[in-house]
Amino acid sequence: MTSPSPIRRAREALGKRLREIRKDSGLTARELASRAGWHESKCSRIENGRTTPADDDLRAYTLHCGATGQTADLIATARNIEGAYVEWRRMERSGLRRAQESVIPLWERTRHFRAYSSWLVPGPLQTRAYVEALLRSIRDRRALPDDLEQAVQVRVDKQQVLYEGPRRFAVLLEESTLRHRIGGAETMAGQLGHLLSLATLPNISLGVIPLSADRTALWPVEDFWIFDDAQVNVELVTAFLTITQPHEVRMYAQAFTALADLAVYGASARTLITSAIDSLG
């Protein structure tokens, strides 16, 4: 038996949440359907995850169940379901360039970027050599069409967001990120030196979480980006996850704040980066 798709699981989770709202209100599914003017089977379809509810369906749920304070969050959750989980193989079926171009509108409209990484230097801070090594590895591992040169250029061009307009970047790296060799020693030395230069820009805050930090309260988590307070992107092994539900975006923002408290900045961060360069021998 195959497991449910991520979209089906998301629908089921939303349906369960709606069922709980209805039960907390004391209404039966039949009573809610009657008040909303629905066929009585509609509640069952929605609550069992067989269909994604429309905005008006969710407004009816919260209105008749006395939970209008949850309307906006429920609508954001439902809208996010179909586009939240995109498999890399679907995004990259024509090559890597399309995946690189897909986020350009988001980057252009964002003013406050927050990024956390425990594995790789984030895209806007990467050197061309580092970009090329990463994308070549992805191309070969996933057996993708070869548009490497074009994809590298798109990613490099996107880095202009660092210098255009009133944009702010807060970047947190685990110290281990500085030690993961991508593209060999020469490429890593260039990349780490580039980080030292970028850290001097007034619109970039670069923090490094030392290996010696006490992680009792919060251990390393998945890499993520927060765009303003509107969206979070997470890169998984198999897919690209987009999160827009307000309560989940807030949770990632809270995690970012907690991680930022563990980081060192300024001269202390530069010392860790320089130590990583020296270790390349």
Give yes or no for residue 82 having a pLDDT over 80: no
Give yes or no for residue 145 having a pLDDT over 60: yes
- The crossing angle, in degrees rounded to 10, of helices 185-198 and 266-278 is 170
4 band by pLDDT with thresholds 50, 70 and 90: low
Give yes or no for residue 1 having a pLDDT over 60: no
Per-residue pLDDT, averaged over 15-43, amounts to 94
Per-residue pLDDT, averaged over 141-148, amounts to 93
Q: Give the C-alpha separation, 181 to 53, whole Å.
A: 46
Look at residue 99 in the predicted model and tell me its pLDDT: 87
Give yes or no for residue 89 having a pLDDT over 90: no
Give yes or no for residue 122 having a pLDDT over 50: yes
Give yes or no for residue 30 having a pLDDT over 90: yes
Within 10 Å of residue 191's Cβ, how many Cβ atoms? 26
